[in-house]
Structure 1
């Protein structure tokens, strides 16, 4: 979807282009408990993870997870299925507390596979783990949905939001976390509301992707560019500003206000909840001649974002093969490691008094030493390799 932004600029502005729309986070609890044999297995593997101070790769009936050596927030076991899986938390079985599992799907899974795949993945994993539950035995506690928009001319204005007077607002300015009040600097993020209830956030997604090295998002965004015959977006071009508009529904809003608990509830009412959010909180074009902020018109960026977010849920899934995104994540790890190897090797050369011309021969000598080290401690190095393979099993 492409919409022209407001006029008034010195040069004709570029249109707004939607690069991505979909769910960003989904968290839910399941009314089921670990079977005794799986409980024993997790206990033994958790002890290994705790002893070796690293995540332990576990496998049960074809399900692979990285199990941590600790629990947290009332859960005995914490595990991850990698960037294309889910994050899992399991309680120790307790008849007085039957809600024994918490599952969180993150942005990478949902951006590449979608909502339908998340639901199918949840059912398949718990079935393989021998954990049975009915359709009503789930409780959705958080749903985030977002759209990313290419908007080169857009500048975020914290004072352009119109909302209920009781709604909280947090502003973030480039370089520091603070209120915009009296501070100079470009506003990069504005958050309104609370995590347990209704919350919206508009932020500079391009900046966040670069700062947190989430290189796979360029591959996701460039899908639409390729499909429309446009050149790829690049992190090297600061004029290609990408803004994310995100609606977040917390536990209180989902359950108490909208009566959304199960998958059926979500498909029936979540679209209405998003539409309501787009009305209760608005990003506008301020009119300094009208003191009644309620009459300020919606900003075109907001109109585009709300229209995309409240679309039919069945269309909010990419359903693509995640191999391309996996490849980007893997190549990013490789590039980082090669950079580290180069830096460490050059530092070693400096410590040994080598000059620049001697570096090629020195690198060969280092490789020879590493080979001798492998041959002298084969069991230890083999274990190191196995640990590394386990650590990156979900992106290789």
Structure 2
């Protein structure tokens, strides 16, 4: 029987128990000892390199070949999950004027007016929000970008979040180039992108029980360590929440099913060997601007060139998962947990996995959501009316649906067709799917922008 050494939560709280129990696992005890020793050596080397590097960005440590056990650990994907960028510059006067007007339209109490609060740029139909955020007066959003724009010369002209779904479709540099083409139509950009925040992730499958240790096993500079559950099922750990650097180790399959509904990740995992059944765990580090500037990193290109060093810093200096040794009060000497050896050894200069083949700038609900909710309403109606034949139920439901909304449209002083078109336009603005302006409205807008551009060019 193969066994490895672990420390259970009971071991840590018991004063009498001084050694860890041996439990069955795919890695033998001798392999764990050897793996821990070699990984510890690599981590020590990485720390020395980090201390001697002016940017604190040494190469990532690697797990020895004899520790590669795919039954214990299987890497699926890794990369950038979220990216927040800022751009020094200034908004174009004609764009400022138009967004000011569209923001006022978005604040209208009349839904048929709100639907026109949209700003098209290339293949994007941005929703213009009714409120800014902080000193950023304007907010534009679709499925790819959440753009905040400022008039102030003391602030960045643009602060942008690139969506996690978009980053499964395009690598960060390619995504930023596409963003820059959009921003060039909104203002004058003075510098290349600065990174305000970057989230790095690793998706993996492991036979390790992520609840088998308690908070004492985390050796970290952070003060907050929390374990979580969803509907009484263990969901993961959070370390350093709210700080300039934080970490989450969590059940991504559970999070998708219960919260985010990002089922597009399933196909990407399957391409790298996921069987569709095992839990997929995600280790994610959130690194804010303060951490990056401490490492003399600010520009996007610089940050992306130093991901190995940032990952090494996060997983060897700021945080480690260990096998606690209760006979040694110096926690920094505790051996690295085998799982952490694998996770800290990801090479960020290699390919992080396949990209999605499709992406839509529109924030549209999927067939799954629409069909589940539509079908639920239909069968509820059929059960209420005592109808068991599907076709008969559809016809009866359609008639009831028409009668109900025809009465509502009458009370609002609208024809039924106009009422339906207004409801579609409201959803189209939310979904970024249809430009609600007429062709005449859009042509007038483009003509105005052209006149302003010519006036500005002649003035300069």
Give the structure-1-normalised TM-score: 0.79
Distance 1:61 1:105 in 2: 17
Distance 1:5 1:100 in 2: 58
Distance 2:258 2:243 in 1: 27
Verify the 8 A CA contact 1:5 1:301 in the aligned structure 2: no
Bigger-Rg structure (1/2): 2
Match of 2:270 among 218, 222, 242: 222
SS of the equivalent of 1:297 reads: coil
Q: Residue in 1 aligned with 2:302? A: 265
Residue 205 (1) aligns with residue 243 (2): no
Match of 2:357 among 300, 321, 329: 321
Distance 1:321 1:346 in 2: 35
- Indicate how the Cα distance of structure 1 residues 268 and 10 shifts in structure 2: closer, same or farther if over 3 A, else same: closer
Residue 171 (1) aligns with residue 171 (2): no
Q: Residue in 2 aligned with 1:386? A: 425
Verify the 8 A CA contact 1:113 1:321 in the aligned structure 2: no
Aligned pairs (5 A) from 1:332-343: 333-343=366-376
- Indicate how the Cα distance of structure 1 residues 311 and 100 shifts in structure 2: closer, same or farther if over 3 A, else same: same
Q: Residue in 2 aligned with 1:65? A: 126
Residue 277 (1) aligns with residue 314 (2): yes
> Could you say what the CA RMSD is over the residues aligned between the two structures, in angstroms?
3.2
Match of 1:154 among 172, 197, 209: 209
Q: Residue in 1 aligned with 2:239? A: 192
Q: Residue in 2 aligned with 1:362? A: 393
SS of the equivalent of 1:286 reads: coil
- Indicate how the Cα distance of structure 1 residues 391 and 175 shifts in structure 2: closer, same or farther if over 3 A, else same: closer
- Indicate how the Cα distance of structure 1 residues 161 and 170 shifts in structure 2: closer, same or farther if over 3 A, else same: closer
- 1:102-159 residue CA offsets vs partner (Å, 9 max, x unmatched): 0112321223312122221221111233433233xx4321111010111143323232
Give the structure-2-normalised TM-score: 0.69
Deviation, 1:28, is 2.0
- Indicate how the Cα distance of structure 1 residues 114 and 317 shifts in structure 2: closer, same or farther if over 3 A, else same: farther
- For structure 2, the 5+ residue unaligned runs are 6-21, 28-70, 410-414, 435-460
Distance 2:304 2:376 in 1: 52
SS of the equivalent of 1:321 reads: coil
Residue 87 (1) aligns with residue 146 (2): yes
Q: Residue in 2 aligned with 1:182? A: none
- Indicate how the Cα distance of structure 1 residues 11 and 316 shifts in structure 2: closer, same or farther if over 3 A, else same: closer
Residues paired across the two proteins, number: 357
- 1:188-208 residue CA offsets vs partner (Å, 9 max, x unmatched): 322223544222221222221
